[in-house]
Amino acid sequence: MKFKLIIFISVLIPMIYSFNFGTVPKNDYQSVEAGESTEFIILLWNLGQNSYPVNVRLLNDLPGWDIIVRPQEFVLSPTPVAKPPYTGGEYFKVSGMGIVKTETLRLFVKTPKNVEPGLYDLDMVAIAGDSDEQVSVLQERQFKLKLEVKEKPTVFERTYSSLKLTGEKINERVKNARNSMTGMLTGINLSSNLPFFLGLILIVIAIAIVIVK
């Protein structure tokens, strides 16, 4: 019995030691209007020594919503610590380890056109690990995401917003035009006074010559 127990522990410890599933949501809140779409991004990494499969699924059902998880089933390879220069992609600083280049999990959401305004929960779980006949080692990460559906603005509100934006653009153009005109007038003043300054310089030079003689 002791011999079997020692073998079991010696097999289990290396498996747990080499299994390190890290996750962090890049954004856990989004807001849209009814009928619009958005996405949530979750960063994943594996600081263990072996690759392992990951399965992602939603925990709540929202009828009429279009929800897509990409990828939903995949194999997460070991994530080495990254060193500069950093190439494109998503990076995350893991405490005590350094900066790692993460894998990206995306949740695409499109709301129905007739959905009621309010705050909706999107609960998702990612299960990592594998099982065999002798031992199962799994790690689970749950994500509680929030999606706020806002009321669509009225025709008056849309018109007011459009007029306000147009007014801001007009004010900016008028300001730029004034600055341009000021520069032009300054240039004109300098040009018109140029003969006066040249004459004054010539007089000073003439007086200096007379004094020297």
pTM over 0.85: no
Identify the three-state secondary structure at position 66: strand
Q: What's the confidence (pLDDT) of residue 92?
A: 94
168/185 Cα distance (integer angstroms): 26
pLDDT under 50 in the chain at which residues? 1-17, 133
Q: What's the confidence (pLDDT) of residue 121?
A: 97
Q: What's the confidence (pLDDT) of residue 196?
A: 63
Q: What's the confidence (pLDDT) of residue 40?
A: 98
pLDDT in tens, 89-133: 899 999 888 999 999 999 999 999 999 999 999 999 999 987 664
Q: What's the confidence (pLDDT) of residue 160?
A: 61
Q: What's the confidence (pLDDT) of residue 4?
A: 45
- Two tokens, residue 129: 């690990």
The CATH fold of domain 17-152: Immunoglobulin-like (2.60.40)
> Which string of DSSP letters, residue by residue, matches 4-54?
HHHHHHHHHHHHHHT--EEEEES-SEEEEETT-EEEEEEEEEE-SSS-EEE
In the chain, DSSP assigns E strands to: 21-25, 29-33, 37-46, 52-58, 66-70, 73-76, 91-94, 98-101, 103-110, 118-131, 136-150
